[in-house]
Homo-oligomer: A and B are copies of this chain.
């Protein structure tokens, strides 16, 4: 998710292209850009990657004052054209464009209330309901209506909006999802992660604060704390898996935090092994930290195929073993006869790990010890991370020992929850509900269906 308020003649769509390109790890199923063109909002969006959907925007520079963009994977609502963001609508407040990262946890109740009142929903995403609330607000200005709306929302929402010639950036009071604001040569940049700002060489930046609403217009930048302070609960899974390693989120370097977690994992171990091997690329940073701390040689004994993944989709993705075999390749002479510590970021269903362990066994490892740079994943997320139902999560079914037997490893171990909390700072400020079940917002009613 990104937004730009321009002060020069640079091409807004081009800048948004590069910002979104850098954020594709956050969603590569659809991409979209909206920018102000005269009094209209031009829209380019579609299913597919940033490269495939938005490259036409690079053909020639397009002058514009303000624009926003979005990349998406389906957390809430199916992967249909109707759900691709930004969402644009016209209402009594004028034309509004909005992009949303997160999940509104009281969406069902709000939705019911709105449909009772006669609202129609053309998409299944949370985002449309924010627009409905703005339209129905009696607020005397757009910003007043927006604030009134935000007061009704619960859950996770980092937002960028366009209204008239203004760009708005909003982060929910709990600060679930990251959001950054930067400035360069008079232009203002909003992005989910700093890697998007780096791509645009925007060095001057800070976090948008939890509960902050920023408005950028030709009269300048104003900031408003729209909600009473509540305890912050930033998503720890961003640090563990979701964010890009070269990004800063929540004030932390993602790569360094993962190294720290890897080191913490090693500290708990008395296991003697010959090599530490990351599952590329998700286990890379933690493996470096683990190997350093454990004093065991780091070895790149699993290589990753650059022709697979996002760019190439097999006609049948049902064959998980084949998919893993096409993507990850063990270096047999580096593995054969060795006791291998395999480092991955987390364990979800266990399917990929099972196939991975099989590959490493075929390469004749003497022992395979799978280490996860995260605690056991046991609870669903209602704040924007796509985690399967409880029944599908392997840690709700099996103990680490049982998992080891199930996937064919010699041992499996997770980072203890208290160690994770120690790594990220014991004074809280993080939501680790997917590991702990400690939801910072009541979600009992939603847990029933999860």
Kindly report how many copies of this chain are found in the complex they form together. Answer: 4
Q: Are A312 and B255 in contact (CB under 8 A)?
A: no
Q: Looking at the assembled complex, report how far the CB atom of A248 sits from the nearest CB atom of chain B, in whole angstroms.
A: 8
Segment at the B interface, from A80-88, A153-161, A383-391: A80-88
Please report the total number of A residues contacting B with Cβ < 8 Å.
80
A120 touches B89 (CB 8 A): yes
Q: What's the Cα separation between A117 and B135 when bound, in Å?
A: 8
Is B136 a contact partner of A115 (Cβ separation < 8 A)? Answer: no
Q: Find chain B residues with CB under 8 A from A92 CB.
A: 115-116, 118
- The answer, yes or no, to whether A227 is at the interface (CB within 8 Å) is no
List B contacts of A332 (CB < 8 A): 198, 246, 253
Known: A244-B303, A307-B310, A310-B306. A333 touches B255 (CB 8 A): yes
CB-based contact A87/B122 at 8 Å:
yes
* CB-based contact A245/B310 at 8 Å: no
Please state if A115 and B90 are interface contacts (CB–CB under 8 Å). Answer: yes
Do B132 and A118 touch (CB < 8 A)?
yes
Q: Is A241 an interface residue (CB 8 A)?
A: no
Within A164-222, the residues touching B (CB, 8 Å) are 195, 198-199, 201
Task: Check A199–B118 contact: CB distance below 8 A.
Answer: no
21 chain-A/chain-B pairs, Cβ below 8 angstroms: A18-B326, A21-B307, A21-B326, A55-B315, A81-B81, A88-B122, A91-B118, A91-B119, A91-B121, A115-B135, A118-B119, A119-B135, A120-B135, A201-B362, A244-B303, A245-B331, A246-B332, A253-B331, A253-B334, A255-B301, A284-B303
Decide if A43 is an interface residue (CB 8 Å cutoff): yes
Given known A43-B80, A256-B333, A332-B246, contact A131–B120 (CB-CB < 8 A) = yes
What does the 1/0 interface line of A285-313 toward B look like (CB < 8 Å)? 10010011000011111011111011110
Q: Is the CB–CB distance between B255 and A300 below 8 Å?
A: yes
Instruction: Determine how close the nearest CB of chain B comes to the CB of A390; give it in whole angstroms.
Output: 24
Question: Cβ of A87: which chain B residues have Cβ within 8 Å of it?
Answer: 122
Q: Mark A35-51, 1 if CB is under 8 A from B, else 0.
A: 00000000101100111
* Interface residue from B256, B288, B303 paired with A246 (Cβ < 8 Å): B303
**Cβ contacts under 8 Å, A311 to chain B:** 51, 307, 310-312
CB atoms of A312 and B135 under 8 A apart? no
Beyond known contacts A58-B314, A117-B118, A246-B329: 6 more, CB 8 A cutoff: A89-B121, A90-B120, A118-B132, A255-B331, A255-B334, A256-B333
CB distance from A192 to the nearest CB of B (A): 15
For A83-122 the 0/1 string (1 means CB < 8 A from B) is 0000111111000000000000000000000011111111
| Chain B proximity mask over A111-150: 1 for CB below 8 Å, otherwise 0 | 0000111111110100010011001100000000000000
Nearest B residue to A298 by beta-carbon distance? B298
State the CA gap A383–B100 with chains docked (Å).
38
B135 touches A49 (CB 8 A): no
Task: Give the 9 A-B residue pairs with the shortest CB-CB distance, closest first.
Answer: A311-B311, A118-B136, A253-B333, A51-B312, A89-B120, A246-B329, A91-B120, A255-B331, A92-B115
| A59: Cβ under 8 A from any B Cβ | yes
Q: Which residues of B contact A122 (CB under 8 A)?
A: 87-89, 122, 128
Q: What is the distance, in angstroms, from A250's C-beta to the closest C-beta of chain B? A: 14
A89 to B123, CA, bound (A): 7
Q: Once the chains bind, are A199 and B120 in contact (CB under 8 Å)? A: no
